[in-house]
Amino acid sequence: MQNCGPRPRLATAALALLLAAACSDSPTAAVPEPGPPVTPPVTPPAAAGEFFNGAYLGDAESTPERIAGAIRDFASLSGKQPALVKTFHPLSCDFSAAGWCGQVLREVARTGSTNYVALDLRWPGAPSTGLLDALNAGQADAHFTRIARELAGVPGTVLLEPGWEMNGDWNDYRWQGVANGRDGSAPAKYAQAWRRMVGIFRAQGAANVRWVFNPNAGNPLTWRATGASHWNWYANYYPGDAYVDYVGMHGFNAPRVFNAPWASFDVLFDGDGADRMLSDLIARFPGKPVIIGEFASDEGSGDAKAEWIRAAFRRLRSHAAVAGAVWFNMTKETTWRVDSSSSALAAYREVLADPGVKTAFAPAPAAGANRLAMR
């Protein structure tokens, strides 16, 4: 099967409260200088904006033959069709109309959902070490050029999340900072590689692509509010406003899997152990809508998961800057699915009944130079 699928998440005692899991001549934007820690989060007024719910439907369902039916089934189960449907693909994928991956994306588009593509930055023959140096040396440029042309032919908007969880430390993700030198130089290399990739896509006319920057919640090397004082701080990887359309993060509540305390949505995404990331994202990048690229919860005692879902969506809908979130609807390390219990499913259907939760995605204006390409 040609999709790379999501990765397993590794658990250690240090996880404590949470764990998730351009062409060289193109203009570049500077990585932002470290800023002061954000103030503790406060509850904002209720948001009135639209919210685009999304889902990852699992490895087995993310095939050309099954994805459309899986989307229909999820719509029936949850009460609404997902506006965003996430799938995982390696650089070797063929996204043309004849290619396996291209067929997956076209089937998603035919249902009316918008494609959200997680792009694995490894390729056959990629180096086992120094991947970011290889990317910046142009070793993947041919892949990026081909994929840009192919994605330009996919109907509708394509959200593209390359090299997710770049601040993590797991699963042979060779684009992660820890795999490219723990001397603090890796985040700048990652940002440079991102800008190179965006420049290639723009040169190929892929104006339907929107770029999603999604680190892991918090700092997986500290699991506390170290902020800009640590080289692995998420914002050190940021490529610049001209190269990013959406910002967000990944996070999972899984005490039974990760041997960690039960973590509410607020603790998982905005607590001290999460480096107060949600509040920091909103304050630091005020022009960027937020999309939570992956989230889910394990079951707890009683109706704990149902209450977790309700509280999560109350928080998501309380931030006008939050444009959407993608539920990881798969049984993997545990049963992340929204129907892991009848009470969890009832809660999920309840929150999706909010009329502000939309079934058709409306993309934000493209960032930076890509706006010129769309005129």
* 373, pLDDT greater than 50: no
Share of the chain above pLDDT 90, in %: 81
* Torsion angle in degrees (nearest 10) through CA of 330, 331, 333, 335: 100
Whole-number pLDDT of residue 45: 40
The number of distinct structural domains making up the chain is 1
How would residue 369 be classed by pLDDT, with cut points 50, 70 and 90? low
Report pLDDT for 60.
97
In a domain, 126, yes or no: yes
Q: Is residue 151 a part of any domain in this protein?
A: yes
The mean pLDDT of 336-346, rounded to a whole number, is 98
pLDDT above 60: residue 332: yes
Residue 267, in any domain of the structure: yes
Question: Taking 60 as the threshold, does the pLDDT of residue 43 lie above it?
Answer: no
Is residue 234 included in any domain, yes or no? yes
Domain of 338, CATH number, reads 3.20.20.80
What range defines the domain where residue 243 resides?
13-26+44-374
pTM of the model: 0.88
